[in-house]
Amino acid sequence: MSNSKLFVGNMAHSLTQDELERMFAAHGTVIDVKVPVDRENGRPRGFAFVTMATPEAAQAAIQALNGHAVGDKKLTVSEARPREERPSFNRSGRDPRQRGDSGGRGRRY
């Protein structure tokens, strides 16, 4: 394992960033904790990213906390993977970078 950034999934919505940091700090130095929140309602989205100081600390945290029960959920802890390139969509749901035949639908000038 060469990465020290971890993905934490299946989180109870009640789990706070501070609690998460304390859990991971038991296995090494924690550099950063990010708990994304839903833009609509401001609630946690059920996952987080934790960056450990070393790959060894990250591996120790995976071994100790993957499957660990918090509330009524069992955490999934794994090495974070780079974000995949995703198309951006405008309000119509179409990728604005793609042009093409509208199939006869749409505005005619």
CATH number at residue 56: 3.30.70.330
Structure tokens at 90: 């405008």
User: Is a pLDDT exceeding 80 seen at residue 9?
Assistant: yes
Query: Does a structural domain hold residue 19?
Result: yes
Query: Does a structural domain hold residue 67?
Result: yes
Query: Does a structural domain hold residue 100?
Result: no
Alpha-carbon Rg for the chain in angstroms: 19
Per residue in 14-35, pLDDT tens?
899 999 999 999 999 999 999 9
Which residue segment(s) compose the domain that 71 sits in? Answer: 5-77
Is the whole-model pTM more than 0.95? Answer: no
In the chain, % of residues over pLDDT 70: 75
Average pLDDT over residues 5-11: 97
DSSP 36-86: -B-TTT--B-S-EEEEESSHHHHHHHHHHHTT-EETTEE-EEEEPPPPPP-
